[in-house]
């Protein structure tokens, strides 16, 4: 039985949480991670327990009595690190394993403590790894020379992007300073090309995709309101208000300006009819404290309804509690994005996801229908991969030179050729 493969502290954690059973991706990941030495990509729908699927076997296998950071968790977003911190810390509690956030907004005291005594699990962004290689190369080796696992959350957001190429290069540089080869576990709900996901680890032949095809019921409704100007039609806003006023809702338009328009106008409509006041906007230009307040309010507001108009800042796996409905205003930019957004609702076991798709012109309506049909067929557009990323080659060359305070040309070329991102 898979449960018996886990260490006693982890089994105790599961019993304390009163889980009735492990989820499919967790069963598969626990067995494979604990009984093989391969890299794995865990691909399953949102809210399927991928974080636990990775950490339950990792925490069971790793000997945290050894010095040095043992597990590195890499996230595309600082907000996601802050959100996952409590989750990972709870998993580590029974093992008395320390968990540290390392990014630009994290506590300097906690970072200094980690440098003095490298241990446990570190949650970090690619940019913070790069910064350490450039500005604190000694600390990079001190902290990350004993790694056993690297967990990459939302790995699809890196594949086929400049940031992804940077991360691949950083992974190769981490392997270079590591005493033994670490294993990579990638997490994603929306991978469009499994072969590219396997290549991302740098060892395609040693990487396996664990795919959970468990489906979730989704209720979708399309509505069309023709826009006569740049502003959203009043009829659309009134219809939207009727749909969102008595539930917990995320509304995804395709711009920050539209996000503000929706939050402000829905709140005005609500004030006129004496409805609830909980209408918010959430995007990268909103002040950090305000964004965190909105996330906290949504997560801890068990009874009251709310409506958050947001951009992709709430598309990824930040936990904001239970959401009843997701609204998309005009077509999404990609099917992968639609999948992430739909997955924000109906996260409780046994509940369905509810999606409203509003269109303000005929092309948008056509695109929305096409995206929905492709989504139903389980199609996700594959990433466009740059074969010769010369700009990233220069970037990483400068990073190495700066981190070493100078380096012989021959040695630099040798290092870059040894990096699988640039050497093929």
pLDDT, mean of residues 200-225: 91
Q: Any residues with CB less than 8 A from the CB of 173 and at least 6 apart, and which?
A: 133, 419
Contact by Cβ (8 Å): 64, 97? yes
pLDDT, mean of residues 346-359: 85
pLDDT, mean of residues 165-189: 95
In CATH terms, 218-376 corresponds, of 3.40.140.10, 3.40.190.10, 3.40.50.1220, 3.40.50.300, to 3.40.50.300
Pick the range with the lowest mean pLDDT from 61-75, 141-155, 301-315: 301-315
Alpha helices (H) in 245-287, listed in sequence order: 256-272
CA distance 57 to 85: 18
C-alpha angle with apex 344: 338 to 346, nearest 5 degrees? Answer: 115
- Mean pLDDT score across all residues of the chain: 92
Contact by Cβ (8 Å): 132, 399? no
Please state whether 276 falls in left (phi above 0), alpha (psi between -120 and 50) or beta. Answer: beta
Q: What is the pLDDT of residue 322?
A: 83
Q: What is the dihedral of CA 310, 312, 317, 319, to 10 degrees?
A: -20
Split at pLDDT 50, 70, 90, the class of 388 is confident
Which residue in 76, 160, 214 sits closest to 334, CA to CA?
Answer: 160
Predicted confidence (pLDDT) at residue 215 exceeds the cutoff of 90: no
Q: How many CA atoms lie within 13 A of 359 on its CB side?
A: 17
Q: Where in the chain is the domain with CATH 3.40.50.300?
A: 2-213, 218-376
% of the chain exceeding 90 in pLDDT? 71
Predicted confidence (pLDDT) at residue 424 exceeds the cutoff of 70: no
Q: What is the pLDDT of residue 319?
A: 79
Which residue in 185, 140, 159, 155 sits closest to 39, CA to CA?
Answer: 185
Which tens digits make up the pLDDT trace of 82-134? 889 988 999 998 899 999 999 888 888 999 999 999 999 999 999 999 999 99
Q: What is the pLDDT of residue 97?
A: 95
Which tens digits make up the pLDDT trace of 219-273? 999 999 999 999 999 999 999 999 999 999 999 999 999 999 999 999 999 999 9
CA distance 66 to 112: 19
What are the φ/ψ torsions at residue 325 (nearest 5 degrees)?
-140, 150
124 against 20, higher pLDDT: 124
**Beta strands in 194-300, from DSSP E residues, in sequence order:** 207-211, 218-224, 248-252, 279-282
Predicted confidence (pLDDT) at residue 317 exceeds the cutoff of 80: no
SS3 232: coil
202 against 349, higher pLDDT: 202
Q: Which residues of 64-79 are buried (b: 16+ CB within 10 A; e: fewer)?
A: beeebbbbbbbbbbbb
Query: DSSP class of residue 182?
Result: P
Q: What is the pLDDT of residue 192?
A: 82
Q: H or E stretch including 126?
A: helix 126-135
Which tens digits make up the pLDDT trace of 46-88? 878 899 999 999 999 999 999 999 999 999 988 889 889 988 9
Task: Look up the pTM and report it.
Answer: 0.90
CA distance 143 to 110: 13
Domain 2-213 class in CATH: alpha beta
pLDDT, mean of residues 29-43: 97
Q: Any residues with CB less than 8 A from the CB of 7 and at least 6 apart, and which?
A: 59, 60, 61, 95
């Amino acid at each position: 039985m898979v449960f018996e493969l886990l260490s006693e502290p982890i089994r105790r954690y599961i019993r304390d949480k009163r889980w009735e059973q492990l989820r499919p991706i967790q069963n598969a990941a626990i067995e494979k991670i604990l009984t093989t030495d391969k890299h794995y990509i865990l691909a399953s729908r949102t809210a399927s327990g991928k974080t636990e699927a990775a950490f339950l076997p990792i925490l069971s296998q790793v000997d945290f009595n050894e010095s040095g950071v043992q597990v590195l968790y890499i996230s595309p977003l600082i907000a996601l690190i802050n959100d996952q911190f409590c989750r990972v810390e709870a998993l580590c509690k029974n093992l008395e394993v320390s968990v540290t956030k390392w990014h630009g907004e994290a506590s300097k005291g906690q970072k200094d403590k980690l440098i003095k005594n490298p241990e446990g699990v570190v949650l970090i962004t690619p940019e913070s790894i790069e910064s350490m290689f450039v500005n604190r190369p000694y600390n990079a080796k001190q902290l990350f020379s004993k790694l056993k696992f690297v967990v990459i959350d939302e790995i699809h957001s890196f594949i086929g992007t400049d940031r992804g190429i940077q991360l691949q290069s950083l992974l190769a540089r981490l392997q270079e300073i590591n005493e033994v080869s670490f294993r990579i576990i990638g997490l994603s709900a929306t991978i469009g090309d499994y072969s590219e996901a396997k290549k991302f680890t740098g060892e395609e032949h040693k990487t396996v995709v664990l795919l959970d095809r468990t489906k979730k019921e989704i209720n979708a409704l399309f509505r069309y309101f023709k826009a006569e100007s740049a502003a959203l039609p009043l009829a659309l806003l009134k219809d939207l208000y009727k749909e969102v006023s008595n539930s917990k809702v995320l509304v995804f338009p395709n711009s920050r300006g539209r996000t503000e328009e929706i939050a402000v106008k829905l709140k005005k409509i609500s004030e006129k009819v004496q409805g609830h006041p909980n209408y918010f906007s959430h995007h990268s230009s909103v002040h950090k404290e305000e964004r965190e307040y909105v996330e906290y309010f949504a997560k801890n507001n068990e009874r009251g309804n709310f409506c958050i108009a947001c951009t992709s800042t709430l598309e990824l796996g930040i936990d904001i509690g239970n959401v009843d409905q997701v609204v998309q205003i005009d077509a999404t930019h990609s099917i992968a994005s639609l999948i992430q957004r739909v997955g924000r609702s109906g996260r409780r076991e046994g509940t369905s996801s509810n999606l409203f798709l509003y269109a303000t012109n005929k092309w948008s309506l056509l695109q929305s229908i096409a995206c929905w049909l492709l989504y139903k067929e389980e199609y996700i557009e594959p990433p466009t991969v740059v074969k010769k990323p010369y700009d990233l080659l220069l970037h990483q060359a400068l990073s190495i030179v700066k981190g070493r305070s100078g380096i012989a040309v021959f040695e630099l070329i040798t290092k870059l050729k040894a990096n699988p991102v640039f050497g093929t």
